[in-house]
Amino acid sequence: MNDELEDSPPRRSGDQLRVWVDEFLGQGHAVTGTIKVVAQEDADRQDTGLVVMNLRNTTASIYMQPRGYDDPLWEATLTARPEDLTLSPHDMASLAAELVIAGNLCSFLQFKSLEWDRESGRHA
């Protein structure tokens, strides 16, 4: 594999990711934290975007992106916390619900990416 391509995930622009995130939110998912698309560039300085979900029930975030170049699968990374997290049963259930939403969003983005790839060559 070409070393230049190794660091380059499939290109989904920040603008395209915002459209997909808006579509996901428009479906009525019970998102309690915030979801945003932040700027990210690949090794060639091309816009790839990064989807970030800030959790409401903890100071952690989850960021989502394609696993790598020419890989159709997405991955989600839960950011580290500096200390242990102690929760009430209600807060733990709320955090679990947020993780389910994050999993659903990551799956949705993966589906949209695969759909986008199938339609490649037809985009303006």
pLDDT by residue (tens digit) across 53-84?
A: 999 888 889 999 888 766 778 999 999 878 88
pTM of the predicted model, to two decimals?
0.82
Provide, rounded to the nearest whole percent, the portion of the chain with pLDDT above 70.
80
Any residues with CB less than 8 A from the CB of 40 and at least 6 apart, and which? 14, 47, 48, 49, 50, 65
pLDDT, averaged across the chain: 83
What is the pLDDT at residue 8? 47
For the chain, give the secondary structure using H, E and C. Answer: CCHHHHCCCCCCCHHHHHHHHHHHHHCCCCCCCEEEEECCECCCCCECCEEEEECCCCCCEEEEEECCCCCCCEEEEECCCCCCCCCCHHHHHHHHHHHHHHHHHHHHHHHHHHHHHHCCCCCC
